[in-house]
Amino acid sequence: MTDYSKQREQMVEHQIVARGVKSEAVLNAMRKVPREKFLPLGEVAYAYDDSPLPIGSGQTISQPYIVAYMAEALALKGSEKVLEIGTGSGYAAAVLAEIAIEVYTVERIEELADGAAAVLEQLGYDNVQIRHGDGTLGWEDHAPYDGIVVTAGGPEVPETLKRQLRMGGRLVIPIGRNLRYQELVRVTRASETEFEMEDLIGVCFVPLIGGQGWSSKWESR
């Protein structure tokens, strides 16, 4: 089997550290998680390229830098409970699981949810729970969360996700009315009714489909 450890280290140094990500917890997680394990066989050779890659069902695994940037934006210290919306391949969930105590992740495409669960189990990530369902509604059973990260772009921040944040918790989500461009936004819960919003960087994600995202008709566009 090919040893990708050198490529993984080069990815961290050239794609992530060089672009300003400083969190040691995030950098260590990116050094440890084998991205190649979360890809279809035909994409494994490109595992450490500086780009997103297709994972089937019209979805992608995010560019490594974006995974690291979003994880850092949550400002995790290591004792948190995190919710991820859009499990996809399971790669970002594994990165979060290296930092947080508990990770809950929701995927609307059953085939992807099952595949991610299998890989995460194989790699020994027993602090990740996956559910197949509408991620825009969150996962109320385990709320509130210290951090929520959304890996698809929505037209606005879902109110349900905001309500599932703990006081002082942070929600990182791509927001935009244009399906080809969104602004990555960080929402911090300041009180029961007040939320502070920061614009971070421009991004391009697949659409957030669901009851509080884009309707399913956007999938065919």
Alpha-carbon span 112 to 25, nearest angstrom: 27
88 SS3 class: coil
Q: How crowded is the C-beta side of 164, counted as CA atoms within 13 Å?
A: 25
Catalytic residue among 23, 51, 57, 62: 62
On whether the CB atoms of residues 76 and 146 are closer than 8 A, the answer is: yes
| Token representation of residue 161 | 């996700």
Is-catalytic flag, 62? yes
On whether the CB atoms of residues 96 and 84 are closer than 8 A, the answer is: yes
CA distances from 36 to 2, 9, 39, 70 (A): 10, 13, 6, 20
Alpha-carbon span 95 to 76, nearest angstrom: 12
Catalytic residue list: 62
